[in-house]
Amino acid sequence: MAKTPPLVHLISALSLLVPPLVMAEDLFGLDQPLPEILSATRLKQSPAAVPGSVSVIDRALIEASGARDIPELMRLVPGMMVGYVKGNEITVNYHGGQVGTARRMQVLIDGRSVYRPGLATVDWVDLPLAIEDIERIEVFRGPNTVSYGANALTGVISITTRSPANNHGTRLKYTHGQRGIDDWYGSQAFSSGNGDFRLSLSGQQDSGFDRTDIEDSYRDSRRSTRMHFSATHALDDSQTLDWQLVAKEGSNQKNFYSNEEALVRDVVPVGDTNKDIKARDYSASMRWSLDTSSAHNLQVQAYAQRWERVQEWRTCDLALSFTPEVSALQQLDPKLLDSVARLLRQRKAIPLSAGPLAFAIGENFYKNGGALQAAVCGDINNNINETRYDLELQDTLSLSDDLRLLSGMSYRKDTADSQTYFQGGLQNEVWRVFGHLEWHLSEHFVLQGGSMFETDTLSGDSLTSRIALNYLITPRHGIRFVYSEAVRSPDMQENNVNWSYLIENLNPNLNGRDSAYYYATAQGPGNLQQEIMRSREIGYNGQFDFGLQIDIKLFNEEIHRLIAEPLDITEFVQNNDNYMWFRGAETEIDWAFTASDRLRLTYAYVDFETSEKSYRRLTARYSGSAGYLRDWGDGWSSSLFYYGADLLNQRRFERADLRIAKRFNFGKSDLELALMMQQRLDDEALTWRENLYDQRRMVSVSAQLEF
């Protein structure tokens, strides 16, 4: 006799629950309109029918949080780890990983990826977007390469900006506070003909951390100026056209030299420690949407963007650092070179037992008449320009009342141009074909499947898939069972880097040359394979008529062929030899229990294991948040938030945020004055031991005028 498939047993078992659902529908109610999730599968779906966990941060929550940055909003998402490398270097990782970079999560602004192609990072402090322009953020918590391609390995943050059609008028805002906070914002939205337009200009500035753990002052301030112009046109009853122009200019302070810059730092001038990064971003995007019928939609999206990073400084080192022997030893044994440097710094001889190459370096250093001990200074840079062109076609078709099909294809071209990182330019082309099928088997069962085929000229081909079964107790309450596979392509820096520093304008010259390559070099292996994630999830999502929303997730995630070695030019050893897995549970509760009161709670427990020891410190096992928002009437409102994580990079984090606001009405104008206070409840440095503030409390005030 043929064996019955396990899926049939599961459906049969769950169907036994159907009779009691008549009473369940009466209890839960179906009168309120269902909220919609827009970005999880690219289809509009009710939260209970989504094949995964999604956190929604709406406009009210954004304003009540008082956050100045998107990473701070991510503290409201269960399982998100927000880390600070410096005051102007922030990372966001879902469930953890490397704190210095966030390479495994896709970030979209109105469908446009801001994941940099060359160095494969998201510059959170340099995003060309003011938080005042954000309408909504959806965070898909889990792998989603079937919808958004490789690099959506652990999740997708989809940011939607405010529509010009719904925000006519003028808004002006100014924020000032401790730690050098000095932000401003202005926007004007209007209609003309068949279009609505909004122009917003904004600026952001702060001074970063106050000091390091050895009481040195910290040069990690940031400053940015942004322009965002958006337009939407109703071409006719069935067609819309949206387009945007975005620009950003700013600078981020840097002043700490890296190990590769001085072999014997104590006996040579440091040079110019001003390594500030000048950042400029530009983008243009367009989206055309056509409804050929009530059951069919066609959408075309195209965008172009460019990232420019200029980081130039003057450095000094010993002439010894430019010798072939030092370069050869660095390639052969970087750790031995560090030992040699320590001995030379202490003016000690190199023992013959260290090896002939190390011994020869010491002999040359002491017996060359002082020539190799002379300081040589020159100009060096980390400049890089990255560009991306993306064209995508998406088709949404309702085959019947119970069956919907989304399909599409896209082409993307990425370019990275850097003499330091790639000895010139490097290109990559990516073709994608994707699809998602949603089938309502009955009133209570939804079966979904999706896949994406991707061909990458630098990384090869990949095929990822997802299958999910949602059991709808009612349309507002569902239990989900999800299995998905995802990949992350090795980025250009990991796999294809040709990293070396050409120091120019040398003073004094080296043997008549005014330029020379530094001893440290790194070469990408060129044959890295894609990382693979396999994820299993069981969850529940419920939307109650009395304002309560609950999401619960149990998960098991495994990442194989993990590329985890540090991207360090002095010891560049990238491979697929590592792994990492996560198991745990998350919950999110959002309850508007009166028209004036809203409570939001999140909690995450993450158990994990990894073969890369540096990753073991970068996941908080317990983390969460709690927030209470209240409208007191007569223009008064307040919000109180708590954020906590037990250990992130071996440091506890606890903070309470309070915001009190008063709104005044002057006819057609509104003025809001707000006080924001953050109070650290722990006495730890933030993520890294160097990141210290003089005071645990920070206060800022803001004034916003709308007319």
Chain-centroid distance, C-alpha 219:
23
d(CA 541, CA 239) in angstroms, rounded, equals 34
Same domain, 345 and 217: no
- Is 537:480 a contact under the CB 8 Å cutoff? yes
Same domain, 328 and 472: no
Helix 356-367 with 334-345: angle, nearest 10 deg: 30
Full residue range of the structural domain in which residue 194 is found: 6-311+382-490+528-706
Residue 29: inside a domain: yes
* Residue labelled with tokens 């005051």: 87
Q: Which two tokens stand for residue 338?
A: 């560090």
Task: Compute the average pLDDT of residues 663-667.
Answer: 95
Task: Compute the average pLDDT of residues 63-77.
Answer: 97
Task: Compute the average pLDDT of residues 241-261.
Answer: 80
Give the per-residue pLDDT at 121: 85
- Is 652:685 a contact under the CB 8 Å cutoff? no
Give the per-residue pLDDT at 98: 67
Residue type at 237 in one-letter notation: D
Residue 547: inside a domain: yes
Chain-centroid distance, C-alpha 191:
34
Own/partner pairs, 472-475, CB within 8 angstroms, 24+ separation:
472/48, 472/49, 472/443, 472/444, 472/445, 472/446, 473/17, 473/21, 473/24, 473/28, 473/444, 474/21, 474/24, 474/25, 474/28, 474/30, 474/48, 475/30, 475/34, 475/46, 475/48
Residue 508: inside a domain: no
Give the per-residue pLDDT at 99: 53
Residue 129: inside a domain: yes
Given pLDDT bands bounded at 50, 70 and 90, which one contains residue 348? confident
Q: Where does a domain end: 350, 381, 412? A: 381
Give the per-residue pLDDT at 114: 94
DSSP annotation string for 162-212: PPGGG--EEEEEEEEETTTEEEEEEEEEEEETTEEEEEEEEEEEE---SB-
Give the per-residue pLDDT at 74: 97
Structural Rg of the chain based on CA atoms = 27
d(CA 359, CA 690) in angstroms, rounded, equals 36
Question: Facing residues of 431 across strands?
Answer: 411, 455
C-alpha pair distances (Å), 268 with each of 271, 315, 377, 496, 612: 9, 10, 10, 33, 35
Same domain, 262 and 369: no
Same domain, 340 and 465: no
Q: How many domains does the chain have?
A: 2
> What is the CA angle 672-673-674, rounded to 5?
115
Statement: residue 11 has pLDDT above 60: no
pLDDT tens readout for residues 21-39 = 333 444 444 556 788 999 9
Given pLDDT bands bounded at 50, 70 and 90, which one contains residue 280? very high
Same domain, 166 and 139: yes
d(CA 129, CA 246) in angstroms, rounded, equals 8
d(CA 583, CA 556) in angstroms, rounded, equals 4
Same domain, 270 and 350: no
Same domain, 85 and 201: yes
Same domain, 85 and 172: yes
pTM of the model: 0.91
d(CA 139, CA 59) in angstroms, rounded, equals 14
Residue 1: inside a domain: no
pLDDT tens readout for residues 151-203 = 899 999 999 999 999 889 999 999 999 999 999 999 999 999 999 999 999 99
Q: Which two tokens stand for residue 440?
A: 């309502």
Same domain, 90 and 40: yes
pLDDT tens readout for residues 444-474 = 999 999 999 999 999 999 999 999 999 999 9
Give the per-residue pLDDT at 101: 67
Q: What is the DSSP letter of 350?
A: P
Q: Where does a domain end: 381, 396, 421? A: 381
Task: Compute the average pLDDT of residues 97-108.
Answer: 78
pLDDT tens readout for residues 534-580 = 999 999 999 999 999 999 999 999 999 999 888 888 888 899 999 99
Mean pLDDT of the chain: 90
- Is 144:152 a contact under the CB 8 Å cutoff? yes
Given pLDDT bands bounded at 50, 70 and 90, which one contains residue 612? confident
Same domain, 329 and 409: no
Residue 510: inside a domain: no
Q: Mean pLDDT lowest for which of 168-172, 259-263, 351-355?
A: 259-263
- Which sign does the torsion angle of CA 234, 236, 240, 242 carry? negative
Same domain, 397 and 465: yes
Statement: residue 16 has pLDDT above 80: no
The CATH number of the domain holding residue 236 is 2.40.170.20
Q: Mean pLDDT lowest for which of 98-112, 348-362, 473-487, 502-516?
A: 98-112
User: Which residue, among 605, 384, 619, has the nearest Cα to 493 in the 3D structure?
Assistant: 384
Looking at mean pLDDT, say which of 77-91, 281-295, 306-320, 366-380 comes out highest: 281-295
User: Which residue, among 585, 553, 549, has the nearest Cα to 480 in the 3D structure?
Assistant: 553
Residue 561: inside a domain: yes
Chain-centroid distance, C-alpha 490:
17
DSSP annotation string for 76-100: GSTTEEEEEEETTEEEEEES---SS
Same domain, 426 and 346: no
Q: Where does a domain end: 352, 381, 410? A: 381
Given pLDDT bands bounded at 50, 70 and 90, which one contains residue 14? very low
Question: Facing residues of 302 across strands?
Answer: 286, 391
Residue 143: inside a domain: yes
pLDDT tens readout for residues 307-344 = 999 999 988 888 888 888 888 888 888 888 888 888 88
